[in-house]
Amino acid sequence: MTYATYSPEDNKLRLYSGARLDAEEYAKVKAAGFRWAPAQKLFVAPMWTPEREDLLIEMCGEIGDEDTALVDRAEERADRFETYSENRTKDAERAHQAVARIADGIPLGQPILIGHHSERHARRDAEKIENGMRKAVKMWDTAKYWESRAAGAIRHAKYKERPDVRARRIKTIEAELRKEIASFTPDPKTRPIMQHKWNAKPEDPEVPHVWCGQARGGHWVPQEHLAAIEARAQRWIAHCNNRLAYERAMLADSGASDLLDKKPRPKQLPLCNYQAPGGLRIENIYHRGEMMFYPQVEMTQAEYARISADYKGTSVVGNSHRVRTMVKHSLVCVFLTDSKVHDIPEAMEPTPRAPRPVPTYTPRPIEEPTPFDAMRESLKAGVQVVSTPQLFPTPPELAQRMVEYAKIQEGESILEPSAGTGNLIRAIKDTGIFGVNVLAIEISATLCGVLRTVYPVTNGDTWNGSAVEVMQADFLNMPELNAKFDVILMNPPFENAADIKHIQHARSMLAPGGRLVAICANGSRQAAALQDEADTWEELEAGTFAGTQVRAVLLTMHRAIDNREPKPQNSEDVATNHGEKIMQDDTPAFASFADVEYGPRLDAERVTLEFATRSTRRVDGGRLSIEDSPLFGGPRQRGLFDQVSHE
């Protein structure tokens, strides 16, 4: 079934069709300005017109009243918008999760490395991440859009029902009514003229035209067309009267009919007519406090009446009275020679202007930042690209082992001379160590920028009282550093045996008792140059570094303490000197207490004697005494140590 309705609340026509319109009817409906609302399953016109009303009467026979109220329709609309918002929010979250799954496998801030084995895979992942981020941000913005539309639908419906808004709407309809009446009513003050019709041929005769319309909005109308214009206008007039009756009744129900009362005109100062041969000084209405000179001209009332209202008016003089003014090449004041002459009133002090009320605005609540806001900022920055063909980032598992071998203590200084993407720094941070100072040196400016972003220093702190300083430099050619470091962790480049030079150069920067943990290529040149100097030499499996089968070695070195104490002669001396290992025999040395073989039950005497007789280095690479070692960390172990040392 097809039927039509009209709602005076929004002045719209609606066409409900139970079946699909045929092509001819659809063309008529569309040409009349109706549009299809799929959610409501109806055709709606933005406003009433006689032509649209005629079309609906032709199709449906009559036009009924709309059953649903404006607020009800707004609530239904808001429900639809909220559903749209929820769906788009779910889409945004799914896109965000897809991006997270890809991004979690990429170190934070790592750019695409041109020439690196990971470049193709990284570019593909970066494209997927960027597309996913764009989709997530777009879906989130769409969700927020529908959310605001839902709130706006309810707010708009409530706004239109406000009494003051309804009163203004009534005045608008009254103005429309006056316009329709003036469209076919000739202006009695304007005489008809003879002229050709619009688009008439030159040989066509001239016909009488009358001026119709409101002031400047009027136009010349052929007199013979007035009847047709009036017939069409009468339908608009009837429609406006019906709307006015409805709106006035609704306003009366709300008890606000007084809003339609005419406001009293503001009290005007008396209008005076007197001679001022020397002219008058009148305040400039556009620049308060500035005075302008008005010369005076004389004319009759008839001459003044013939001047267009656009070129005449009144101005205030002395805050006590008004005088007539006009534009005649310049602003002048007017004295009417055939009108009553008044005495010149005395000037008065200006009345202080009441202060304008300051509008109050309710600020919009500040929304908490969301992950989608961070995505939007990341999209602005774009994908970072850097050329680093010799960069092989340290795998996280290997970086963790290197940090464990270094045995970093609180307050120590650490050097990372080939920082790259910062995997070694990340491993240091993951230990939770407190108060270390890390100097990261990297030759690539782009990677340095990434590291400074990932590890910012705020008030001298990056994490847990630790600070990371990033320096862009070529490690082999940089100026010599004055500082010495307690720990050096490094994964230098392997090309042309550069790892040998890097490790040897870094070793010179170790402080006494310092430890160096490095990765180098497992080649003959590296073995000849570094293996004899290394404390440990651990061959890594092929494929440790992604994208290459190069074989590498994990090595450790240390720098002994220069000021050694006298050589102990027996276990008592060893215990007295807290296990300082300075024996100079050919027995292999222990790098730390962890290298001593001992059973489940600690034999303190055996451990002490073995260190005294087999070691040439201080406990834990010259950094700790026996008593400070983790092996003697408990009360029972310390008691055994004291017993052995005094036997």
Domain spans, the chain: 2-67, 72-160, 165-260, 280-336, 392-558, 571-645
Cβ neighbourhood burial of 414 (10 Å; 0-12, 13-18, 19+): buried
**Which among 80, 254, 89, 287 is positioned nearest to 160, based on CA atoms?**
254
Q: Give pLDDT, residue 534.
A: 93
Question: How many angstroms separate the CA atoms of 323 and 269, rounded?
Answer: 10
Reported confidence tier of residue 392, pLDDT bands at 50, 70, 90: confident
Residue with the bigger pLDDT between 644 and 406: it is 406
* Mean pLDDT in residue range 614-635: 41
Residue 517: the pLDDT is 95
Q: What is the pLDDT of residue 355?
A: 83
Residue 247 in this model has a pLDDT that exceeds 80: yes
Alpha carbon dihedral 329, 334, 337, 340, in 10-degree steps, equals 170
pLDDT at 546 over 70: no
Label residue 566 by pLDDT band (50, 70, 90). Answer: very low
Q: Environment class of residue 246 by beta-carbon count within 10 Å: exposed (0-12), middle (13-18) or buried (19+)? A: middle
Q: What is the pTM of this model?
A: 0.54
Q: Which two tokens stand for residue 342?
A: 């008044």
Q: What is the pLDDT of residue 116?
A: 55
Which pLDDT score, from 0 to 100, does residue 115 have? Answer: 57
Phi, psi of 549 (to 5 degrees): -105, 15
**Would you place residue 451 in the very low, low, confident or very high pLDDT band (cuts 50, 70, 90)?**
confident
> How confident is the model at residue 103, as a pLDDT?
64
Confidence band (pLDDT; 50, 70, 90) for 384?
low
pLDDT band at 630 (very low <50, low <70, confident <90, very high): very low
E strands of 140-277, at which residues?
A: 193-195, 207-212, 219-222
How confident is residue 357, by pLDDT bands cut at 50, 70 and 90? confident
Report, as an integer, the average pLDDT of 347-372: 80
Say how far apart CA 142 and CA 135 lie, in whole Å: 10
Mean pLDDT, the chain, integer: 81
Q: Given this model, what pLDDT does residue 601 score?
A: 36
Structure tokens at 281: 């000084």
Tokens, residue 510:
């170790």
What is the predicted pLDDT for the residue at 97? 85
Poorest-pLDDT segment among 108-112, 270-274, 292-296, 620-624: 620-624
Residue 609's pLDDT is 43
Cβ–Cβ < 8 Å for 439, 485 = yes
pLDDT at 498 exceeding the cut of 50: yes
Bridge pairing between strands 291-294 and 485-490: unpaired
User: How do residues 95-104 score in pLDDT, each as one tens digit?
Assistant: 888 877 766 5
Residue type, 152: G
For the ranges 126-140, 197-211, 382-396, 616-630, the lowest mean pLDDT is seen at 616-630
What is the average per-residue pLDDT within 88-111?
Answer: 73
Alpha carbon distance 155, 598 (integer Å):
80
Q: Give 315: exposed, middle or buried? Use CB within 10 Å, 0-12, 13-18, 19+.
A: middle
Q: Are strands 467-472 and 330-336 parallel, antiparallel or unpaired?
A: unpaired
Q: How confident is the model at residue 588 (pLDDT cuts 50, 70, 90)?
A: very low
Average pLDDT over residues 295-318: 93
pLDDT value at position 560?
Answer: 84
End-to-end CA distance of the chain: 113
> Which percentage of the chain shows pLDDT scores above 90?
41
What pLDDT is stored for residue 635 in this prediction? 44
SS3 content of the chain, % helix, strand, coil (to 5): 40, 20, 40
Compute the half-sphere exposure of residue 380: CA atoms within 13 Å on the CB side of its CA: 5
Q: Please state the φ and ψ torsions of residue 296, each to the nearest 5 degrees.
A: -105, 140
Q: Are 555 and 530 in contact (CB under 8 A)?
A: yes
Neighbours of 535 (CB within 10 A): 19
Place 57 in a pLDDT band, splitting at 50, 70 and 90. Answer: very high
pLDDT-derived band at 571 (thresholds 50, 70, 90) equals very low
Q: Tell me what pLDDT residue 342 has.
A: 94
Residue 176 confidence (pLDDT): 94
Q: Which is higher by pLDDT, 604 or 268?
A: 268
Torsional class of 432: left (φ above 0), alpha (ψ -120 to 50), beta (otherwise): left
Half-sphere exposure of 382 (CA within 13 A, CB side): 2
pLDDT at 165: 94
Q: Tell me the average pLDDT across 602-624.
A: 42
| Residue 422 scores a pLDDT above 80 | yes
Q: Return the higher-pLDDT residue of 113 and 202.
A: 202
Superfamily of domain 392-558: Vaccinia Virus protein VP39 (3.40.50.150)
- Give the pLDDT band of residue 351 (cuts 50, 70, 90): confident
How distant is the alpha carbon of residue 242 from its chain centre?
49
CA neighbor of 621 nearest in space, from 594, 645, 603? 594
Which of the pair, 465 or 488, is modelled with greater confidence? Answer: 488
Lowest mean pLDDT among 318-327, 412-421, 573-582: 573-582
Weakest mean pLDDT among 139-143, 253-257, 382-386, 506-510 = 382-386
- Give yes or no for residue 626 having a pLDDT over 80: no
Share of the chain above pLDDT 70, in %: 81
Q: Would you say residue 223 has pLDDT above 70?
A: yes
**How many angstroms separate the CA atoms of 310 and 327, rounded?**
9
Following DSSP, what letter does each residue of 590-612 receive, concatenated?
Answer: PSSGGGS---SS--HHHHHHHHH
Residue 481: which pLDDT band, with cuts at 50, 70 and 90?
confident
Please indicate whether residue 101 or residue 27 has the higher confidence score (pLDDT): 27
Which residues pair with residue 510 across a beta bridge? 485
Neighbours of 26 (CB within 10 A): 15
CA distances from 34 to 9, 228, 242, 449, 472 (A): 18, 26, 23, 58, 67
